[in-house]
Copies of this chain bind each other. A is one copy, B any other.
Amino acid sequence: MGKKVLIVGGVAGGASAAARLRRLDETAEIILFERDEYISFANCGLPYYIGETIKDRNKLLVQTPEAMKARFNIDVRNNSEVISVDAKNKKVVVKSKTKGTYEESYDYLILSPGGKAIRPNIPGINSEKIFTLRNIPDTDIIKAYVDKKGINHAVVIGGGFIGVEMAENLRDRGLNVTLVEAAPHILAPFDPDMVVIAEKELAENGVGLILGDGVKSFEEIGNQVQITLGSNTKINADIIILAIGVSPDTAFLKESGLAFGPKGHIIVNEKMETNLEGVYAVGDAIEVVDFITKQKTAIALAGPANKQGRIAADNVAGLNATYKGTQGSSILKIFGLTAASTGANERTLQRASMPYQVIYVHPVSHASYYPGAIPMSLKLIFNEEGRVLGAQGIGYDGVDKRIDVIATAIRFNGTVDDLAELELSYAPPFSSAKDPVNMAGFVAQNVLADRMNTVAWKDIEKDGNEDTMLLDVRTELEFSNGHLDGAINIPVDSLRERMNELDKNKTIIEYCQVGLRGYIAARILSQNGFKVANVTGGYKTSSMLHY
């Protein structure tokens, strides 16, 4: 018999490690411990089962203990919690629902215990009407509760991915839904200027949004729970979903001698090795390196967990595999909308003191003359050397593709020149001859080469003063449908004839709808001796910010 490998946690990281290890090594003894009844389930599908988009509960169960045994000869022990690790003697203590407490020795140990939903110590938090969502039992309870008669008002606390997904899915079930977020905006991977589009989509689909207001207390009143927010706003709910994040589920490892990061994440090296000999860790419970900032971070996402599980197995089997850090690539459906991001956002870069520049484009999803073309908003973040640091995209179609393409470029330390040059596949139903990613590259090139001096809305709004002149270069019709206070209107197509109406002593801050005509106007004016700045993202971005 070969090496004896214990795995703690039977879902994304753990089950992936087990399957890969068996493929690499028929002789290893592999035992997989899972505290709950279910292994290998589709965590990411849980909200959609509650929302009844996924109708068949069995679809959530990707693998069963029996199937893992038959296919991979894995000794799956569900209902078996590992309660401590004795690294010196290379053994763990297991508390089994059926077999009591026992020890099991190991040559190698792979830890993938995941995270647990955070439940802060707020008055009233123990109400039975407050749910968190992490696994199948949670799902069954929530779904049964929602299925009951008289459950009409839901409050979701926390505007992260799971919170937004639950808001959408409860709305799909016909509930009145309010989403409460303590920060000024939902979905932290996105910067405020982008996330407003997602917030608008939620609002338009009937999800009430309360931003910048945290929960102070809960109180059961009759059949409902009353939530009191920091602002003293009170809202009543039949059901509350608490989705304010996860923390590593590592309490059972406290005495093991493992090294932990500041928030309780297990510290590993590139090979997924912990500080303890023969002990590997993967998934939501570990600390990883941010691919962009090179700082330590943690990322609770299934892709990294699966890949890290595979890497740990490779290393246990004697191959040499490494995990090179996370870009935090993530994506979310919000009703009709797709919101996706990769790399660092402005907040992260500011925190890491990494200088950056930003551009926005609003290209159409595919050739504008082919039916169904619809604009998306794409934000690109890059540094002075042109290296792409991050991107965020929101729109109704084709956003996932563009963010994945940029994620790929980031992986290769690509620059904005690389984005401009990418040869992507084009036919009218799928893209444009200049793909949105190319377009973002072009615009960034122009900014870096000082061909376009840009200014952000937030800056003009505070900087507007006597030395500047606000110019709207859209058509007269667009102008009359709405424009910025104090702007004068000269359509770009008349600019060459009418530039004598402008003052060479002032800085001309000009905008169009999305930035393209503003760029052309800027090129005309600057080459004619005017000081000019084009507003990034155009009027569209401004109206988004003020929707």
Which residues of chain A have a CB within 8 Å of any CB of chain B?
A: 12, 22-27, 42, 44-45, 48, 53-54, 59-60, 62, 67, 70-73, 161, 291, 301-307, 310, 319, 324, 326-333, 338, 340-342, 367-371, 400-401, 403-405, 407-409, 411-412, 414, 418, 420-431, 433-435, 438, 442, 449, 451, 492-494, 496, 519-520, 523-524, 527-528
Known: A306-B433, A340-B425. A520 touches B71 (CB 8 A): yes
> Which of A301, A428, A523, A528 is the most central at the interface, judged by chain B CB atoms within 10 Å of its CB?
A428
Query: Which of B291, B302, B438 touches A307 (beta carbons < 8 Å)?
Result: B438
Docked-complex contact B44 and A342, CB < 8 angstroms:
no
Closest to A517 in B: B71
B residues near A519, Cβ cutoff 8 Å: 23
Known: A53-B371, A367-B44, A527-B27. A424 touches B409 (CB 8 A): no
Docked-complex contact B331 and A426, CB < 8 angstroms:
yes
B residues near A528, Cβ cutoff 8 Å: 26
Query: Which of B67, B303, B342, B400 touches A434 (beta carbons < 8 Å)?
Result: B303
A519 CA / B23 CA spacing, docked (Å): 9
List 4 other contacts, CB 8 Å, given A329-B423, A409-B412. A26-B527, A45-B367, A412-B412, A412-B418
A527 CA / B45 CA spacing, docked (Å): 36
A72 CA / B521 CA spacing, docked (Å): 10
Docked-complex contact A407 and B433, CB < 8 angstroms:
no
A71 CA / B496 CA spacing, docked (Å): 9
Ranked nearest first, the 10 interchain pairs of A and B with the lowest CB-CB distance are A331-B425, A412-B412, A70-B493, A59-B369, A26-B527, A302-B433, A401-B401, A408-B408, A329-B425, A306-B433
Could you tell me the distance in whole angstroms from the C-beta of A460 to the nearest C-beta in chain B?
A: 23
B residues near A527, Cβ cutoff 8 Å: 25-27
Docked-complex contact A329 and B424, CB < 8 angstroms:
yes
B residues near A407, Cβ cutoff 8 Å: 422-425
Docked-complex contact B304 and A53, CB < 8 angstroms:
no
Closest to A419 in B: B408
Docked-complex contact A48 and B370, CB < 8 angstroms:
yes
Docked-complex contact B423 and A23, CB < 8 angstroms:
no
B residues near A328, Cβ cutoff 8 Å: 423
Closest to A418 in B: B411
Could you tell me the distance in whole angstroms from the C-beta of A16 to the nearest C-beta in chain B?
A: 8
Query: Which of B324, B332, B424, B428 touches A427 (beta carbons < 8 Å)?
Result: B332
Docked-complex contact B27 and A430, CB < 8 angstroms:
no
Query: Which of B24, B368, B424, B494 touches A404 (beta carbons < 8 Å)?
Result: B424
B residues near A421, Cβ cutoff 8 Å: 307, 324, 411
A442 CA / B311 CA spacing, docked (Å): 11
B residues near A291, Cβ cutoff 8 Å: 423
A430 CA / B401 CA spacing, docked (Å): 9
Could you tell me the distance in whole angstroms from the C-beta of A168 to the nearest C-beta in chain B?
A: 11
A412 CA / B409 CA spacing, docked (Å): 8
Docked-complex contact B426 and A303, CB < 8 angstroms:
yes
Docked-complex contact B423 and A333, CB < 8 angstroms:
no
Docked-complex contact B60 and A429, CB < 8 angstroms:
no
A257 CA / B465 CA spacing, docked (Å): 59
B residues near A331, Cβ cutoff 8 Å: 425-427, 430-431
Closest to A301 in B: B426
Docked-complex contact B429 and A408, CB < 8 angstroms:
no
A527 CA / B22 CA spacing, docked (Å): 11
Docked-complex contact A423 and B327, CB < 8 angstroms:
yes
B residues near A435, Cβ cutoff 8 Å: 303, 404
* 9 A-B pairs whose Cβ atoms sit less than 8 Å apart in the complex: A26-B523, A44-B433, A70-B494, A307-B421, A326-B423, A329-B426, A333-B429, A342-B423, A404-B425
Docked-complex contact A423 and B303, CB < 8 angstroms:
yes
A72 CA / B520 CA spacing, docked (Å): 8
Could you tell me the distance in whole angstroms from the C-beta of A387 to the nearest C-beta in chain B?
A: 13
A370 CA / B49 CA spacing, docked (Å): 9
B residues near A342, Cβ cutoff 8 Å: 423, 425
A284 CA / B448 CA spacing, docked (Å): 31
B residues near A26, Cβ cutoff 8 Å: 523-524, 527-528
Closest to A53 in B: B371
A435 CA / B329 CA spacing, docked (Å): 12
Closest to A491 in B: B70
